[in-house]
Amino acid sequence: MADPDRHALGGPGVVLVVAYGVLALAATGRSVLQVLTNYEQAPLAYTLSAVAALVYLLATWCLIRGGRWVRVGTWACTFELAGVLIVGAASYLAPEAFPDKTVWSHLGQGYGFVPLVLPVLGLLWFRKVDRDALARDAQQATQSAAAPDATAG
C-alpha cells in the first residue's frame, strides 16, 4: 500500500495529456533545431527553450503514467510555472537579453498564454489525483481495521 493507485489519465487528465503533449511536441522540435543550427544567435533563449521543452515532455509522461510519477509531475509543473513567471517578467523588463523568443517570453504570449495556464491546471489535477488516492487509502485502511479477519486470511 506504499504506492496507492494514482490513475492520472482518466477524466480531465486526458485533455491535459493532449494539451501538454502538443506543447511538448511543438517546443521540443523547435528548440532542438534552434540549438543545433543557430545556437550562437541567442544562447540564453535557446537553452531556456530546450529546458522548457524537456520539462513539458516530462510532465506529459507523468500525466500518462500516474502512480509515483504524480510527485515528479508536481515538481515539473511547479518548475514550469516558476519559469513562465520569471522569464515572462524578465522578457518585459530586460528585452535585450532575449533577442529571440522562448515559449516563456512575455508570459507565453506567442503560444496564446497556454504556457501560463497549463502548469496551473496541471498542478490542480495532480493535487486532485493525489488526494483521491489518499482518500481511497484511508478508506481501505478503515475497512481492513474494521474486518481484520478478512485481510489476515
Partner 1 sequence: MTEGLTYVVVALACLLLAGSVYYAVRDRLMDDRLLAVAALLEVGLIILTVFGLSGLGRIEDPTEKATFASYLVSVPLIPIGTSLLTIKEKSRWAMGSMAVGAFAVAVMVARLQQIWNSHG
44 binding partner 1? (CB under 8 A): no
Alpha helices in the chain (DSSP H): 12-38, 43-65, 69-93, 114-146, 148-152
140 binding partner 1? (CB under 8 A): no
Kindly tell me which residue out of 5, 6, 7, 18 binds partner 1, with binding defined by CB under 8 A: 18
Binding flags for partner 1, 105-134, as an x/- string (CB under 8 A): -------x----------------------
Of 110, 100, 8, 115, nearest in space to 53 by CA: 115
Kindly tell me which residue out of 8, 17, 50, 103 binds partner 1, with binding defined by CB under 8 A: 17
10 binding partner 1? (CB under 8 A): yes
- How far apart are the C-alpha atoms of 105 and 70, rounded to whole Å? 27
**Hunting for cell 481492513 — which residue is that?**
144
- Nearer residue to partner 1 within complex by CB, 61 or 75: 61
Cβ atoms < 10 Å from Cβ of 53: 23
Question: By the 8 A CB rule, do 53 and 34 touch?
Answer: no
67 binding partner 1? (CB under 8 A): no
Contacts with partner 1, residue ranges (CB under 8 A): 9-15, 17-19, 21-22, 25-26, 28-30, 32-34, 37-38, 41, 100, 112
